């Protein structure tokens, strides 16, 4: 095995830590329109995209959403909100290798696509009567924008300190 490759065991360990960070970070949330906006989840999505890749990011978002719901500290809206953003962010980072477009993809993926995907979840699975199809876009965007900015700043600091290079090797 090449010294620069991250093994599956290492990736699984990193995924576990990121999932735990997303769940613990969801204790810092703001309830808006039936959703619980958790900026740390979006920060974790970007960390996962940069360190592990898009599919790991989607898996981490799913696991964190599931655990949050099982613990009663999340809502079903966490699934479309976090998973769509993680996928968009991960794919953009994979194809560009650039942090800023990945952060933008997280914000737009969660804010727009995740916000739209949340409507049928709220209506059909949660029994809510959302005011309109786009009602979750603004709260999701606020949450993901905050998390994306936080991730961008932290990852830039990690890059300068060469911490990110060590983790991604």
Distance (Å, whole) CA 165 – CA 29: 30
What number is the average pLDDT over the span 12-27? 95
Domain ranges of the chain: 8-25+37-168
* CATH annotation of 8-25+37-168: 1.10.1760.20
Written as one string, the DSSP assignment of 66-134 is: HHHHHHTSS-TTHHHHHHHHHHHHHHHHHHH--HHHHHHHHHHIIIIIIHHHHHHIIIIIS----SSTT
For the beta carbon of residue 116, count every other beta carbon within 10 angstroms. Answer: 17
pLDDT digits (tens, 9 = 90+) for 72-101: 988 899 899 899 999 999 999 999 999 999
Q: Which residue has the tokens 């477009």?
A: 101
pLDDT digits (tens, 9 = 90+) for 104-140: 999 999 999 999 999 999 999 998 888 888 988 988 8
């Amino acid at each position: 095995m090449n010294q620069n490759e991250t093994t599956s065991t290492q990736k699984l360990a990193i995924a576990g830590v990121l999932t735990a960070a997303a769940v613990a970070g969801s204790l810092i949330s703001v309830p808006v329109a039936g959703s619980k906006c958790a900026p740390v989840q979006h920060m974790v999505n970007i960390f996962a995209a940069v360190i592990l890749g898009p599919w790991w990011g989607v898996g981490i978002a799913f696991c964190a959403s599931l655990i949050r719901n099982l613990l009663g500290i999340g809502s079903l809206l966490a699934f479309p909100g976090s998973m769509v953003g993680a996928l968009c962010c991960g794919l953009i980072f994979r194809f560009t290798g650039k942090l800023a477009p990945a952060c933008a993809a997280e914000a737009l993926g969660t804010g727009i696509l995740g916000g739209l995907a949340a409507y049928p979840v709220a209506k059909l699975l949660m029994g809510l009567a959302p005011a309109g199809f786009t009602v979750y876009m603004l709260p999701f965007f606020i949450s993901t924008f905050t998390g994306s900015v936080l991730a961008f700043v932290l990852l830039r600091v990690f890059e300068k300190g060469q911490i990110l290079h060590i983790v991604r090797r």
